[in-house]
Amino acid sequence: MKQIFTLALLSTILIAQSQAKESNNSADEDFMTFAAKNNKTYTSAKEFGRRKDNYVASSKKVDGLNATNGKDKKNKATFTLNFTADLDDAEYAAMMGLDTSKASGARMLASLDSETHGRQLLDMTPVDWSFLYGS
């Protein structure tokens, strides 16, 4: 009886490992295709692994967006990955050109959330445009 249980347990473990390897191989293949398509080059195995992790996280985010936004076929939005899929949040923000390090006082930036609907300036100081009209 113990032998049958042990055999069943081992076969379950082997099946789970093979499924995990197939899933990991698929992620590897997807990432390699992405890197080749977008002319990406990485200088080390460590950087490659970090970029792959970023890509997998981006892929999961896109899959989640497509799952939640695909219910209403009339107003359906489709999301996909682009050349930024291997960037981390800091690299992506830097690429967008928004330098928040110099923001202070009246020009503080709000965080990205559903309430502000994107990047917004808080506590804006009014601009005196009267010089344009000769007043």
Rounded to whole angstroms, the Cα distance separating 135 from 115 reads 38
Query: What torsion do the CA atoms of 56, 96, 104, 110 make, to the nearest 10 degrees?
Result: -60
Given a cut of 80, is residue 47 above it in pLDDT?
yes
Q: Would the pTM of this model clear 0.75, i.e. be above it?
A: no
Picking from 81-85, 104-108, 111-115, 124-128, which range would have the lowest pLDDT averaged per residue? 104-108
Question: How many Cα atoms are found within 13 Å in the side-chain-facing hemisphere of 84?
Answer: 11
Read off the pLDDT band of 96 (50, 70, 90): confident
Summary mean pLDDT of the chain: 74
Given a cut of 70, is residue 50 above it in pLDDT?
yes
Would you kindly state where each structural domain of the chain is located, as residue ranges? 13-87, 99-124
Residue 17 gets the label, from left (phi > 0), alpha (psi -120 to 50) or beta, of alpha
Given a cut of 80, is residue 81 above it in pLDDT?
yes
Residue 31 burial (10 A CB sphere; 0-12, 13-18, 19+):
buried
pLDDT at position 127, please?
73
Given a cut of 50, is residue 80 above it in pLDDT?
yes
Given a cut of 60, is residue 121 above it in pLDDT?
no
Read off the pLDDT band of 76 (50, 70, 90): confident
* Residue type at position 31: F
* Overall average pLDDT of the 47-67 stretch: 92
